[in-house]
Amino acid sequence: MIKVLIVDDSAVVRQILSKELSKIYDIEVVATACDPYVARDKIVQLRPDVITLDLEMPRMDGLTFLGKLMKYMPLPVIVISSLTPQGSENALRALELGAVEVLCKPGGSYSVGDLSRTLVDKIRAAAAVRFLRPHKPPVAKAPKTVPAPEELSTTRAVMQTTHKIIAIGASTGGTEAIREVLQQLPATTPGTLIVQHMPEHFTAQFAKRLNDMCEMEVSEARGGELVTPGVALIAPGNHHLVLRRSGARYIAEVKDGPQVHHQRPSVDVLFHSVASQAGHNAIGVILTGMGADGARGMLAMRQAGAHTIAQDEESCVVFGMPNEAVKLEAAVEVAPLTDIPKQMLHSLKISPSTAAG
């Protein structure tokens, strides 16, 4: 039985979430708390397995509480945040502090009932977390330098003739894992497509933060962009991201469609498209996350001749997605998170000495 503590200043939210979660056979709401001070006492007394945390609360804000919790008594935390720009910024900050998941706070047409259905899967994923990695503040990069025109044209020409593509997929714990990978890649890295399971409206802010920290240019995909060296595109929440080839060019497409493995965007959808469009000219990377999304797509990539890498169990927050890929023998390599950028660069024949960081 998974013991859950709900921390939210709204009595309505606490009541409805408690009612909905109590219907689930393997989840027990052991207590609720209206603010971090009450939550602190409940944590000491009841030792919950998972905490849901609102970020906007009286007496102490959720980020301050989360920072203290991760320092003195680390527990899996699922953050519930608003869809406002500030809410998205705070949610990403919470992930940096050690939260394992982020969900949209009910509002407007999005009901608490809808949230509770999604929350069940997130609670199970959080309860499966093997460890909580200590918080290491991200280091912002210096302003990106623009190469001289002749250097840029030469570099891009070399990269374009190789037609390399990188595809990365992740879920639980993936925001920080993606950051750690991208920060070690140089600006000459081939065009990169990324799927991170994340709510709609949060992915744009996620891309913006990565762009400030990485040598590559990082942005949320809009659809129709050329996939070019030095650029990483992140699938927007609630939309699939696929690769399409047009002659010698690669194009990123954003599309609707049914959920795959209960996910939209889906890693499988991206990986299958990369397998068919790029084949042996691709590298596929599957990082920490719950479930099986991406495993069969990675197998298709390997069968098409791509170099494929799965994050190892020891460095994963949740070893679900990489494990499914390993079981299918979809991964050419299984590596710790810290080694994955080096393995990617080695496969691309790019010297690690030119990498960022």
Catalytic residues: 171, 197, 293
Omega cis (within 30) before 265: yes
Tell me how far apart the alpha carbons of residues 243 and 183 are, in angstroms, rounded to a whole number: 23
Tell me how far apart the alpha carbons of residues 85 and 250 are, in angstroms, rounded to a whole number: 31
Q: How many CB atoms lie within 10 A of CB 314?
A: 10
**Could you give phi then psi for residue 251, rounded to 5 degrees?**
-130, 135
- The DSSP output letter for 263 is B
Residue 19 in tokens: 């009612």
Tell me how far apart the alpha carbons of residues 10 and 222 are, in angstroms, rounded to a whole number: 35
| Angle at alpha carbon of residue 80, lines to 69 and 133, rounded to 5° | 40
Tell me how far apart the alpha carbons of residues 351 and 152 are, in angstroms, rounded to a whole number: 18
Q: How many residues does the chain have?
A: 357
Nearest to 229 by CA among 274, 187, 285: 187
Q: How many CB atoms lie within 10 A of CB 53?
A: 24
Which CA distances in Å does 193 have to 38, 83, 136, 213, 278?
43, 24, 25, 17, 12
Residue 200 in tokens: 């709609």
**Could you give phi then psi for residue 284, rounded to 5 degrees?**
-115, 135
